[in-house]
Amino acid sequence: MIYEPLTMNLPTKTLIVVAGPTAVGKTAAAIELAKHFNTVVVSADSRQFFREMSIGTAKPSDEEQSQATHYFINSHSITEPFSVGDFEKQGLVLLDELFKTHDHVILAGGSGLYIKAICEGFDDLPTADPAIREKLNQELEEKGLTHLQEKLKSADPVYYDEVDLGNPQRIIRALEVFESSGKPISYYRQATVNQRPFNIIKLALNMPREVLYNRINQRVDVMMQQGLLAEVEALTPYRQLNALNTVGYSEIFDYIDEKTTLDKAIGMIKQNTRRFAKRQLTWFRRDEQFIWFDATRADATNQMIAAVQSAR
């Protein structure tokens, strides 16, 4: 795509990234920043794109979305293929339009790969032999997900610490890249950084682990009260789709299949979400450009605003 030339070749627009683990309070912080800078929020959550998945993805409520315009919320159907590469392309086109009327735009979410795609670009991965994918899918069926997880841990410990280990498609993709090229997927992801025609300031929220884990547990309880079971049951005809191979949905499918009790499924959602939060923190901490804030502080949002203003 072609961008209009900027004065003195220096970017005059700023993308404010708001990242952090699940349940830390990113939505509330992003809305406050959007209101302060009179701008909008672009979601970088890999599941909130999908219209059919609402309760289990903890989407911003209608009331929250009324406080600030959000993009990439309910923008796609689970039946539509939508990759991180698609998000990069569509997101950059959207930002090009938004920066015509806003000096700042907020990019908020916990999907590190999607944030990286907007900020740096998504590296071209080698094309794998279909036979390798078929073999890995057969291993998944015969030996289970744990077997593939262990293979990934051996082949690419860096990616193992970051990927959603409950997502077999992500694990298979990483393994097929490794088996096709002899190089881990983390090698390709770190290969290049594309310059963007806007400034980027990266902010991240965290809180003491015990507090975060309690918030995660409480959020899962609220999801169940809001009707997560009914939401997942309605999606059963589409359960083979990649979008539904994620925490909060896979565990309920196990209950529907009578592989576990509902109480145990809820417990597994909490446990797997806590593990996911740990991997998110590992991902974001590897990027030294992030400025960290304690989400439990009453003045956390004001500190974030000050950080943006001092970076000008």
pLDDT of residue 194: 77
Show binding-site residues. 20-27
Q: For 82, phi and psi rounded to 5 degrees?
A: -150, 105
**Residue 8: pLDDT above 90?**
no
Model confidence at 7: pLDDT above 70? no
CA 23 to CA 219: how far, in whole Å?
A: 7
pLDDT digits (tens, 9 = 90+) for 123-181: 667 777 778 888 888 888 888 888 999 999 999 988 888 787 877 878 888 898 888 78
Q: Is the pLDDT of residue 94 over 60?
A: yes
Per-residue pLDDT tens digits for 267-301: 999 999 999 999 999 999 999 999 999 999 999 99
Question: Distance between CA atoms of 35 and 157, rounded to whole angstroms?
Answer: 40
Say if residues 308 and 14 touch (Cβ distance below 8 Å): yes
Structure tokens at 44: 């970088």
Residues with Cβ within 8 Å of residue 300, at least 6 apart in sequence:
29, 205, 293, 294
Report the half-sphere exposure of 211 (CA within 13 A, side-chain side). Answer: 10
pLDDT mean across residues, the chain:
91
Highest CATH level, class, for 130-189: mainly alpha
Mean pLDDT for 185-212 is 87
- Locate 114 and state its tokens: 């999607």
Angle between helices 26-36 and 300-310 (to 10 degrees): 50
The domain spans of the chain are 12-123+192-310, 130-189
Q: Report the alpha-carbon distance of residue 73 to residue 126 in Å, rounded.
A: 30
pLDDT at 167: 79
What tens digit of pLDDT does each residue of 55-92 get?
999 999 999 999 999 999 999 999 988 888 899 999 99
Residues making up the binding site for substrate: 22-27
**pTM of the prediction?**
0.81
**Which CATH superfamily hosts domain 12-123+192-310?**
P-loop containing nucleotide triphosphate hydrolases (3.40.50.300)
Binding-site residue numbers for ATP are 20-27
Helix (H, G, I), strand (E, B) or coil at 42: strand
Q: Which H or E run includes 152?
A: helix 145-155
Please state the rounded mean pLDDT for residues 216-221. Answer: 98
Cα-flanking dihedrals φ and ψ of residue 38, to 5°? 50, 55
Percent of the residues in the chain that have a pLDDT greater than 70, as a whole number: 94
